[in-house]
């Protein structure tokens, strides 16, 4: 009798978890476990040294470029991965270590665009293909057609490679640059890395509990207006918490509005970043960018909103002198 009751309770618990997973569109226990591990790694790197955090950003971007290589290959687009790895690493390290950070970013991105365009052109001319190495069909949705033999012009191949430079090294440079502004590098990293993630969490729970009005049903059916409001609310609360624990009270008297503006920007831009990534995935016929992070998909699935928010937060921190 007791064993039967125990099985009933376990069945009800499993049913409740499955219902939450269906509503959230992901495996929530796995997602929570992965999120805790990522938070611990990031905080440990920040606590040890900002340089270690920069190295972590570089590693994440290298992993993200690998995911893009696999994803683009599902529609027979091929990016010069090694060249992108080298350019991204040099760009991010130069932005941090070179005293004139904006100049370093501009020069490195410009050179990267030229180098990647040249590499992509050579790759097209030599007809080099990588799909045999990749199980990229496993990423596509079940009803998606096999597009690995789809034909594209040489110009399209080069344009996609150059787009990757603007998406990864350029936006990621704005994650690294605020670490150099002043002694509050820890707060800046928290705002750039954790606030978009907190905004995503707020949007997820607000959408699950109150979502009624679809934000963009064609691009992302699970996004709702209520979720967007939850994203902004969580981001504003998180920004105030970071500011309260970091900056001096005297600074609050003249910058009290900065956390409010930061949270609203993160909520709106982060959601826009998610929609852009969803549109890109929908166009390629894939559900997730990869499978590296259990419960979250790929690295780019986790950092898409962070990358999109980084330039806005970077400019806001610079303009306000925070």
For residue 249, the enclosing domain spans 34-320
Tokens of 225: 């207006």
pTM here is 0.80
Residues 6+ away with beta carbon under 8 Å from 202: 230, 231, 232, 233, 234, 235, 267
Beta pairing partners, 220: 216
Instruction: Tell me the three-class secondary structure of 63-84, residue by residue.
Output: HHHHHHHHHHHCCCCCCCHHHH
Q: Which residue has the tokens 């806001």?
A: 316
Token digits for 221? 């059916």
Domain-located, residue 151:
yes
Q: Report if residue 18 sits inside a domain.
A: no
Alpha-carbon distance of 294 to 277, in angstroms, equals 18
Cβ-contact 188, 178 below 8 angstroms: yes
Q: What's the pLDDT tens digit per position in 238-262? A: 999 988 888 887 777 788 888 899 9
Q: Which residues of 69-85 are buried (b: 16+ CB within 10 A; e: fewer)?
A: bbbbbbbebbbbbebbb
Q: Residue 106, Cβ neighbours under 10 Å: how many?
A: 14
Task: Tell me whether residue 148 is in a domain.
Answer: yes
Whether residue 25 lies inside any domain: the answer is: no
Q: How many structural domains comprise the chain?
A: 1
Backbone angles phi, psi at 307, to 5 degrees: -60, -40
Q: How far apart are CA 300 and CA 277, in angstroms?
A: 9
Report yes or no on 22 lying in a domain.
no
- pLDDT per position in the chain (322 positions), as tens? 556 555 555 555 455 445 544 554 556 667 667 778 888 898 898 888 899 999 999 999 999 999 888 888 888 888 999 999 999 999 999 999 999 999 999 999 999 999 999 999 888 776 554 444 444 555 555 555 666 667 778 888 899 999 999 999 999 999 999 998 877 888 899 899 889 888 888 888 887 787 677 777 777 767 778 888 888 999 999 999 988 888 887 777 788 888 899 999 998 998 888 888 778 877 777 777 766 665 556 788 778 889 999 999 999 988 887 7
Report d(CA 272, CA 278) in Å as an integer.
Answer: 10
């Amino acid at each position: 009798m007791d064993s039967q009751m125990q099985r009933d309770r376990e069945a009800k618990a499993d049913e409740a978890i499955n219902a939450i997973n269906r509503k959230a569109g992901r495996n929530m226990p796995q997602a929570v476990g992965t999120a805790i591990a990522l938070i611990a790694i990031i905080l440990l790197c920040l606590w040890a040294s900002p340089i270690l955090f920069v190295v972590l950003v570089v590693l994440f971007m290298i992993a993200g470029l690998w995911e893009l290589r696999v994803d683009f290959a599902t529609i027979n687009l091929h990016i010069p991965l090694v060249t992108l790895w080298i350019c991204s690493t040099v760009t991010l390290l130069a932005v941090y270590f070179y005293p004139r950070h904006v100049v370093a970013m501009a020069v490195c991105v410009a050179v990267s665009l030229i180098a990647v365009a040249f590499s992509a052109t050579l790759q097209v001319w030599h007809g080099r293909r990588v799909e045999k190495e990749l199980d990229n069909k496993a990423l596509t949705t079940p009803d998606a057609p096999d597009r690995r033999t789809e034909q594209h012009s040489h110009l399209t191949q080069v344009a996609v490679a150059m787009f990757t430079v603007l998406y990864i090294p350029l936006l990621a440079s704005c994650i690294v640059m605020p670490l150099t502004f002043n002694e509050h590098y820890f707060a800046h990293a928290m705002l750039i890395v954790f606030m978009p993630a907190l905004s995503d969490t707020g949007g997820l729970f607000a959408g699950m509990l109150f979502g009624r009005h679809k934000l963009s049903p064609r691009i992302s059916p699970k996004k709702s207006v209520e979720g967007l409001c939850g994203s902004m609310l969580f981001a504003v609360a998180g920004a105030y918490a970071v500011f309260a624990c970091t900056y001096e009270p005297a600074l609050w008297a003249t910058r009290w509005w900065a956390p409010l503006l930061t949270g609203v920007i993160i909520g709106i831009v982060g959601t826009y970043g998610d929609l852009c990534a969803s549109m890109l995935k929908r166009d390629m016929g894939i559900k997730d960018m990869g499978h590296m992070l259990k419960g979250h998909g790929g690295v780019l699935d986790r950092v898409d909103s962070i990358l999109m928010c980084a330039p806005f937060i970077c400019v806001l921190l610079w303009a306000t002198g925070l």
